[in-house]
Structure 1
């Protein structure tokens, strides 16, 4: 019969088979012994991973190979630093022969997305160089009492970093790198191409006058904008960003 009924009429377990009980006991003991053996083996391996070829390479990386969370790339370019009477930095390339004077009309710095008209500026009543009007944030000023871009000597261009309401033409000038090209289109339909040789951040209190305005035999271009921190008490930035570039070629526009 397939079922056994007791006094209550419900199903009851079949009579105990002593042989089956003994077999189950042997299997349970064997299983426990197997687990103990595996655990003991794992403990031995973990204590001496090198002996079993399981050592991790993560802890053996050189210090410079450890991830630092920063994007990969070249290190930041160091700013030019020198005494105020030291000559401007020159790019590692032969300067091009200077051209005849011609009024600049436009400046293009492709890597920074700059393409701006140039306006002639002179001296303000207090004897300082004028700056372009702030109502045209994309306008660059050329100081007309110095050389024209491409002519022998330093040509000086000025532009705002920002205005009260928005960024301006030279807001990214600090990002320029040595070797970058700057093009200045001139009224005689020639374009003077300058190569950046150095970038300086100078305090306005110790402005390098000789380096920026001093006479030079080759054609140089010096770009000036504001930098450093904004001093709300005087309404001006504390420093200037100055880019030094030398003419290395030219072409007909």
Structure 2
């Protein structure tokens, strides 16, 4: 299942340092069986490209379904509620009955993203070389929508709506509360990398899985479902 690439980042706590370069990532299509083609959703990644050594990438123009973010200022950064870096432990999305633990995702020796275990239907992955949830930047969280055994953790992701909530409990005992801004489905053949993965001046979240039609020839789904969300508040767990 092709799943578009998260960026390589320079981890810098709540700092607003540039995130240099982005990698396309590949997860094997074998994680989804032929018997699940009617679900039309699964999770994976896309091929690796060479990292860019330029500075901060420039995001594409926002889609009509998502409000443009204002240019950052000193006041904005001081009031955005950004948290220090801390790994996520658990995600809760009440609207679609998600309550699942995290695993850390990273690149394997071949330069591909190692997916969450395909036999665990209630597990999400965090790209640990990117921003942590609540930290300034776009935090990337991915999860299977189906496996060879049936629907998985992000089976209902596409049904989320603007204003829905996503809560992520972190290792430091803080719960980061995110609010959904938009839910989009993008063709993997024409995926807007800059819109999804470009660095952001305030804490944001991307939830990503697969969607669209299932291609029997490639044994893969043709689109990615992406949820865009921003940090709304935080509280002790």
Q: Do residues 161 (structure 1) and 150 (structure 2) align?
A: no
1:91-106 correspondence to structure 2 within 5 Å: 96-106=80-90
Give the alignment of 1:7-156 within 5 angstroms. Answer: 85-87=60-62, 89-90=66-67, 96-156=80-140
> Is 2:222 the partner of 1:241?
no
CA contact (8 A) 2:210 2:223 kept: yes
Which shifted more, 147-156 or 199-208? 199-208
Tell me how large the CA RMSD over aligned residues is.
2.0
Distance 1:91 1:250 in 2: 23
CA deviations over 1:229-253 (Å, ceiling 9, x no partner)? 1112111111000000000100000
CA positional deviation for 1:87: 4.3
State how many pairs are aligned: 169
Q: State the alpha-carbon separation in 2 of the partners of residues 91 and 175 from structure 1.
A: 22
Distance in 2 (alpha carbons) for counterparts of 1:247 and 1:174: 20
Structure 2 CA distance for aligned equivalents of residues 124 and 206 of structure 1: 25
Cα distance in 2, alignment partners of residues 193 and 109 from structure 1: 10
Cα distance in structure 1, aligned partners of 2:190 and 2:111: 17
TM-score, structure 1 as length reference = 0.63
Partner of 2:155: 171
Judged with a 3 Å threshold, the aligned counterparts in structure 2 of structure 1 residues 90 and 107 are, in CA distance, closer, same or farther, namely: farther
Provide TM-score, normalisation by structure 2: 0.67
For structure 2, the 5+ residue unaligned runs are: 1-58, 70-75
Q: Larger strand proportion, structure 1 or 2?
A: 2
| Local SS of the residue matching 1:179 | coil
- Alpha-carbon shift at residue 186 of structure 1 (Å): 0.1
> Which runs of 5 or more structure 1 residues have no equivalent in the other structure?
1-83
Give the number of the structure with larger relative contact order, counting CA–CA contacts within 8 Å between residues 6 or more apart.
2
SS of corresponding position for 1:111:
helix
CA–CA separation in structure 1 for the residues paired with 2:62 and 2:163? 18
How far did 1:202 drift?
0.4
